[in-house]
Amino acid sequence: MSAKLVGAVAVAGLILAAALPAPAARSAAVIAPPPPPKATKPFNKRDMSGTWDRYPQAIDTQRDRSVVAPPPDIAPPPLKPEYKGPYEASQARIAAANARNEPIATGYTHCLPDGMPAMMQAMFPMEVIQGGRQITIVQEAYNQVRRIYIGDKVPAIEDAEPLFWGHSAGRWVGDKLIVDTVGIKETVRFRDVPHSDQMRIHEEMTVLGPNHFQNRITITDPVYLTGPWTWTWIYQRRAGYKMQEYVCEDNREYADPVTGEARLRVTVPNQ
């Protein structure tokens, strides 16, 4: 092989080697965690529009949580003594049934939606559609829709027709959205906690940054509770997610009329 040819091959090899990434760089690119979701528009402290997940989720174990600290666990409800005992006994019965793999039937058994305030826990993705006079919140699970009317006042308790999501009125106090809700069906329960028609749900929604907002919820009920029951949920943006249809269509579960346990109808095809 001529010296010129050898030189040309050597130069080509150097050029090719320079163009390729170093092995360490390729390895780092493969194991690097995915970047956090990015906001699709400029940050506005009064803008909650978009699609959100509850934060944190199980898949967030590798994400840096120093940016937004996870909220504390929800404390037990401050039930009055005459209701606390029966509630705790009911929870023990539910736990024992779950341990036996014989769960007690719930609203999900009957294809019923969460209602308020449970729909705001964002068990599935949640979309916020924001306008000047109305904020609409759509929960993917059971296609739940909640409307918050800005500038309105909630009706008097005696005039509030009991509904799954109640009657919500909101107002802005600085950059914080204050929402009050009344008129929740007494059969619609969060964590199976009983309540009366006197229950009020007070929410304080605050945008924490381009990719997170929080909802501080306070429940009051002079009939069942000794005082306010407060907790916080945080949501993280899920940019680019398209809400899906969720219909409880082919449900085969039912409640056992004797034990109250969830049962499954099984149809055996003709042999």
Q: Please state the domain extents for the chain.
A: 50-264
Task: Give the three-class secondary structure for 130.
Answer: strand
195 within 8 A of 187, measured Cβ to Cβ = no
Q: Which residues, 6 or more positions from 23, have their beta carbon under 8 angstroms from its beta carbon?
A: none
Nearest alpha carbon to residue 84 among 157, 3, 163, 193: 193
Question: What is the per-residue pLDDT for 40?
Answer: 57
What is the value of pTM for the model shown?
0.77
Which letter, b or e, does each residue of 200-214 get, where b requires 16 or more Cβ atoms within 10 Å of its Cβ?
Answer: bbebbbbbeebbbbb
Q: What is the pLDDT of residue 203?
A: 98
Q: What is the pLDDT of residue 271?
A: 53
Considering Cα of 53, then 64, then 73, then 230, what sign does the dihedral take? negative
Radius of gyration of the chain (CA): 26
pLDDT, one tens digit for every residue, the chain (271 residues): 544 443 443 444 433 334 434 433 333 344 455 555 555 567 889 999 999 999 987 666 655 566 788 999 999 999 999 999 999 999 999 999 989 998 888 888 778 999 999 999 998 999 999 998 999 999 999 999 999 999 999 999 999 999 999 999 999 999 999 999 999 999 999 999 999 999 999 999 999 999 999 999 999 999 999 999 999 999 999 999 999 998 887 666 555 665 666 666 655 556 5
